[in-house]
Amino acid sequence: MPHDPYLAPSFSFENRLRRLLWNMVYSLLFKPSPRLLHGWRSFLLRSFGAKIGSDCHIYPHARIWAPWNLICGDVVAVADEAIIYNPMPIVLSSHCTISQQAYLCGATHDHNHPDFPLVSASIDIGAYAWICARATVQPGVRVAEGAVLGLGAIATKNLEPWSVNVGIPARKIKDRIHHE
């Protein structure tokens, strides 16, 4: 029988084992924790290699795929049901907000390659940026400082600093006021 590349795992055994352990901790200790225990959840994420700044509010139903690839500055907020799919590092700079059901998607597949391999790239969310509810950031995108990605919008390319972006694909509709 010929080898089927679609059946080959995209990740190493070690990676899959780490994610299994993280998923058990997530299910037993992270997700059921009271909403106000942000420090507890930060501790659990740090225990799995996340770099978490001070005063971060990561809510119990936020979904982080690989904590060891999560880098958060200070005062970052990640709302319930936000999904951070991070096979490569995802950076959340200080004071950025990731709203409910937002999706930071750090990987896709090469649909033109016969083996359909996983292709991943880092995502960088700048300081004071806001990823609104149900918005999506695609692999390799940089959301610059102060940028807003509006409700349900999809960022397919880098967003300008202090801009408001909406639609599919996201496009700039105006500047955001930068209060210093």
DSSP of 112-163, one letter per residue? TSTT--EEE--EEE-TT-EE-TT-EE-TT-EE-TT-EE-TT-EE-SPBPTTE
First to last CA, the chain: 65
Are residues 75 and 56 in contact, defined by beta-carbon separation less than 8 angstroms?
yes
Ordered mean pLDDT values, 10 residues apiece, the chain (180 residues): 76 93 98 98 98 98 98 98 98 98 96 91 98 98 98 98 98 92
Burial 95-126 (b: 16+ CB within 10 A, else e): bbbbbebbbbbbbeeeeeeeeeeebbebbbbb
Look at residue 114 in the predicted model and tell me its pLDDT.
87
Cα-based torsion angle of the residue sequence 116, 11, 20, 51 in order, rounded to the nearest 10 degrees:
-110
How many whole angstroms separate alpha carbon 148 and alpha carbon 77? 14
Look at residue 153 in the predicted model and tell me its pLDDT.
98
How many whole angstroms separate alpha carbon 129 and alpha carbon 145? 6
